[in-house]
């Protein structure tokens, strides 16, 4: 049954097991949580809250995430933002690694940030970036190595297990267009500010959970558990103990007994005949542009262009290799000479489906020196290819000082 909304906010303080190392006074955690509605929300409102969640927390440049981390009140974000997989959606946000003196300051800062955003709205660039990022994700439906069919089924489960339409979460096109039309007609502030006010600021079903570090809690809990088990055992007769041993053995035997052939046959499985004898052929066209080797793959990608630009970092000194991961992270999180990292993140979100930079290091058989590369990976709709490569150039320009060779691999949509 749905949980009724509280009439007033609730505060809970509990202890959690913590190690002895470090300053215990700086190991507090605090998280503020809201139950957003007594009843399941309609699809468009759910989608709008998803966009709001991305605006608040989705990127390092998102205001709620950024301001909390830059405040110095804690070490890291806790709380997953909007969670809508249960019957009633919720919103959670907080910090861990908080000093005891700063617990209330975290809660006050969260409320102040949300109040400011409700009053002032979000930057148009941030709204455009979130809209593009989420729409791209919905249309691409890229589940990586995770089975796509299983991903769709799990997406349906949030409605299915409550006897609602399992296809509703998959039909995003109409509510997406309706939401975009509302934003285009009324402006983003008229859409998102009422959501912040209704579901968060003016929602008294707010639970603030404070977790206090206690290095003795784990041992106390273990001792209490042993005492409970001791009392349970002392209250049992010899017949009870014998029955418990028998039931345990029966369970273990069932777990270790192989399933009968008729049960195994009921499980769908692939046969050798279902597996193609010939390997899947990936078309490849090798070319060159301005002295750079280019590999092109003409594949069905649902009108998405995928690009990888690979830089040879072999000229780097070995003692600098350990800095490559930090260097790659800094390319997207420290901005450029013309824009700060917030503007860069928003530009990437507005124009592409995402850009990532990562190191690739491997030993080479028979050679002492390792293979070292930096890979700049990006994706965008085919109509945004020029924007994608311009941003790739911005992100990778700092690699050029080490570059000796460069390979660019591109998947073009059919």
Question: What is the pTM assigned to this prediction?
Answer: 0.76
Q: What is the pLDDT of residue 34?
A: 98
Sheet containing 90-98: order of strands: 10-17, 206-214, 28-35, 90-98, 76-83
CATH topology identical between 10-214 and 285-398: yes
Q: What is the pLDDT of residue 407?
A: 58
Reported as a single tens digit per residue, the pLDDT across 47-76 is: 999 999 999 999 888 999 999 999 999 999
Q: What is the pLDDT of residue 401?
A: 39
Within 8 A by CB and 6+ apart from 407, the residues are: 292, 293, 294, 295, 309, 310
Within 8 A by CB and 6+ apart from 214, the residues are: 15, 16, 17, 18
Show the beta-strand stretches assigned E in 184-318.
206-214, 285-289, 292-299, 304-312
Q: Please state the CATH superfamily assignment of the domain spanning residues 10-214 in this structure.
A: Metalloenzyme, LuxS/M16 peptidase-like (3.30.830.10)
Distance from chain centroid for Cα 78: 13
Report domain 285-398's class.
Answer: alpha beta
> Which residue ranges make up each domain of the chain?
10-214, 285-398
Reported as a single tens digit per residue, the pLDDT across 197-255 is: 999 999 999 999 999 999 999 999 999 999 999 999 999 999 999 999 999 999 999 99
């Amino acid at each position: 049954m749905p949980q009724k909304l509280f009439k007033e906010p609730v505060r809970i303080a509990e202890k959690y097991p913590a190690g002895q190392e470090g300053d215990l006074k700086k190991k507090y955690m605090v998280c503020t949580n809201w139950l957003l509605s007594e009843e399941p929300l309609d699809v468009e409102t759910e989608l709008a809250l998803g966009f709001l969640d991305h605006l608040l927390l989705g990127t390092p440049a998102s205001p709620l995430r950024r301001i909390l981390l830059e405040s110095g009140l804690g070490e890291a974000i806790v709380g997953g933002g909007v969670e809508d997989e249960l019957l009633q959606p919720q919103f959670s946000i907080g910090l861990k690694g908080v000093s005891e003196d700063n617990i209330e300051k975290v809660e006050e800062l969260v409320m102040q940030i949300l109040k400011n955003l409700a009053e002032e709205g979000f930057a148009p660039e941030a709204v455009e970036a979130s809209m593009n990022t989420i729409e791209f994700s919905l249309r691409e439906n890229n589940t990586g190595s995770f089975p796509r069919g299983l991903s769709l089924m799990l997406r349906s489960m949030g409605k299915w297990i409550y006897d609602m339409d399992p296809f509703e979460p998959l039909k995003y096109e109409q509510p997406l267009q309706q939401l975009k039309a509302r934003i285009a007609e009324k402006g983003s502030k008229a859409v998102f500010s009422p959501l912040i006010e209704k579901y968060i600021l003016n929602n008294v079903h707010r639970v603030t959970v404070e977790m206090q570090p206690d290095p003795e809690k784990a041992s106390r809990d273990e001792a209490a558990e042993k005492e409970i088990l001791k009392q349970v055992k002392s209250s049992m007769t010899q017949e009870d103990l014998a029955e418990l041993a028998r039931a345990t053995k029966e369970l273990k035997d069932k777990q270790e007994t192989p399933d009968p052939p008729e049960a195994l046959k009921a499980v769908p499985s692939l046969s050798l005949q279902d597996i193609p004898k010939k390997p899947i052929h990936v078309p490849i066209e090798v070319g060159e542009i301005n002295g750079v080797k280019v590999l092109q793959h003409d594949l069905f990608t649902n009108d998405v262009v995928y690009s990888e630009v690979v830089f040879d970092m072999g000229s780097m000194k070995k003692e600098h290799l350990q800095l490559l991961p930090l260097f790659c992270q800094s390319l997207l999180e420290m901005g450029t000479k013309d824009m700060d990292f917030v503007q860069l993140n928003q530009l990437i979100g507005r124009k592409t489906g995402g850009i990532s930079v990562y190191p690739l290091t491997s030993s080479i058989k028979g050679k002492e020196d390792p293979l070292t590369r930096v890979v700049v990976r990006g994706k965008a709709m085919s109509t945004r290819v020029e924007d994608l490569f311009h941003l790739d150039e911005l992100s990778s320009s700092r690699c050029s000082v080490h570059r000796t060779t460069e390979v660019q691999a591109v998947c073009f949509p059919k």
